[in-house]
Amino acid sequence: MTEAKFPKNFLWGGAVAAHQLEGAWQAGGKGVSVADVMTAGANKIPREITAGVIPGKNYPNHDGIDFYHHYKEDVKLFAEMGFKCFRTSIAWTRIFPQGDESEANEAGLQFYDDLFDECLKYNIEPVVTLAHFEMPYHLVEEYGGFANRKVIDFFVRFATTCFKRYKNKVKYWMTFNEIDNQSRFNNDFLMCTNSGLLLNNDSNNEAAMYQAAHYELVASALAVKEGKKINSDFMIGTMINFTPIYPATSKPADVLMAQRADQRRNWFSDVQCWGYYPANVEAYIERNDFRPDITEEDRIVLKEGTVDYIGFSYYQSMVVSADKVAPDDLSDPEDVIVSNPYVEKSDWDWEIDPVGLRYSLNALTDRYHLPLFIVENGLGAVDKVENDGSIHDPYRIAYLRAHLEEVRKAVTLDGVDLMGYTPWGCIDLVSAGTGQMSKRYGFIYVNKDDEGNGDLARSRKDSFYWYQKVIKTDGADLN
Ligand code: P53
């Protein structure tokens, strides 16, 4: 049974996002994105979001790992590992530097033509996220991000421009990265990266989130509709950070709390997959008098623009208890998290739960009856380069192996329809959450430290050869 293989056409690959690796933040007329105004933080030290780019501050995304100039070398290494696909995003600000222009920026479009051609040369299928925490900063300053209905049109223009330009090169798309992460509406970083909201203490962050999220969901649905007109073969997915939520005990209040937390957090994909808001969210918005602007026309769009598949990231599970807050009073799931005594934690305190991935694959299948695509999974860890240049990362191999064993069970024993697996940060890049380089995910090491020193040289870690073998054997050999 453990010999069972993954499907033959399974999309093995790796995932990155433009702002975390491309660098070249002003090349070819690129504009300033929200990622360009975020400083470097550290473990438990949040990144600062500055009012524009302030000289003298450290903005790690400005240079990334300079993939913009190294992509040929990097794609060649992906091909050497045997990648069948490569997930990246299109930096919105390369195509529309300010976000509200009527004409696209040709130099930006050309860069992605070149990158996708390079992938296709090795039969690597590009898998593209349209908006991965990369909104033009101008749209934040001038319009308030997705608090403003006008931003829907700007996103749809960006999306259709990309669909038209790359319709013969890209088949797999996702609209917004981890759209559900803004359910943590008191988190400045997540709100700014997801929908371009800058929180201020006087406003009701939760009401603001439901409004911005609605406009974003409408923008996503409109993009799906337009995309299908441009190429009916497109597969356009949602992208969520799926986090299964467990009750702290079998106490009924804890079990109800786990369900409530799931309803507060995981409703975004309900709207994108079903085409309408779940009853519990409608009731919650009503009872709190949030009164978001949701028109009848919007509801029709949501119905017509449902997704083809579910792309999701999986890093950890979450445990909640009803001890501090009663289930009916829950607004922010972050408030009720307790630590899970049965799982280990990473150096950044992310809980490691491989079984939770099998559980997630089944839960999503049961809820949506759609194909799934694991578009992120992985371990952020510190790596050490030996004197001979080798990098031994058995912890990363162990993490990925344990998760893939569970994925294989979901596919071969549970009948889950899984399109592919793209571990996060297949090449070391800037951490989204902390802005660090030292929180590494890659199979490929990049010589650069948290202060920005290093010659950017690429080298293969032990996990590089391990993943190469996994792909070569279609996942039969995970050792
Ligand atoms: P890092 C948490 C915080 C920030 C981004 O995260 C996150 C998450 C996980 O839910 O989402 C994804 O770099 C994201 C990537 C990111 C990756 O997780 O903080 O889609 O952009 O790099 C890993 O370790």
Domain of residue 360, CATH code:
3.20.20.80
* Ligand 1 nearest-atom number relative to CA 430: 13
The pLDDT assigned to 34 comes to 98
* Ligand 1 nearest-atom number relative to CA 189: 4
The answer as to whether 86 is a domain residue is yes
**Count of domains observed in the chain:** 1
Residue nearest ligand 1's atom 8 by CA: 433
Distance (Å, rounded) from C-alpha 89 to C-alpha 132? 6
381 beta partners: 440
The pLDDT assigned to 1 comes to 46
Ligand 1: does its nearest atom lie under 6 Å from the Cβ of 243? no
Concerning whether 22 is annotated as a catalytic residue, the answer is no
Residues in the chain with pLDDT values less than 50? 1-2
* Ligand 1 nearest-atom number relative to CA 181: 10
The pLDDT assigned to 203 comes to 78
Residue nearest ligand 1's atom 24 by CA: 431
Ligand 1 centroid to Cα of residue 178, in Å, is 9
Ligand 1: does its nearest atom lie under 6 Å from the Cβ of 265? no
Ligand 1: does its nearest atom lie under 6 Å from the Cβ of 17? yes
* Ligand 1 nearest-atom number relative to CA 177: 20
**Active-site residue identified among 376, 386, 405, 451:** 376
The pLDDT assigned to 3 comes to 52
Q: If DSSP codes are grouped into helix, strand and coil, which group holds residue 29?
A: helix
- Count Cα neighbours of 36 within 13 Å in the Cβ-side half-sphere: 28
The answer as to whether 5 is a domain residue is no
Residue 115 belongs to what domain range? 11-472
What residues contact residue 127 under an 8 Å CB cut-off, 6+ apart? 11, 13, 15, 85, 86, 87, 88, 170, 172, 173, 174, 373, 375, 420, 422
Ligand 1: does its nearest atom lie under 6 Å from the Cβ of 424? yes
| pLDDT tens digits, one per residue of 190-204 | 999 999 999 987 679
Ligand 1 centroid to Cα of residue 180, in Å, is 13
The pLDDT assigned to 204 comes to 92
The pLDDT assigned to 342 comes to 98
The answer as to whether 340 is a domain residue is yes
| CA angle (330, 331, 335) in 5-degree steps | 75
The answer as to whether 479 is a domain residue is no
The pLDDT assigned to 200 comes to 80
Ligand 1 centroid to Cα of residue 433, in Å, is 6
Ligand 1 centroid to Cα of residue 303, in Å, is 29
The answer as to whether 477 is a domain residue is no
Ligand 1 centroid to Cα of residue 195, in Å, is 15
The answer as to whether 4 is a domain residue is no
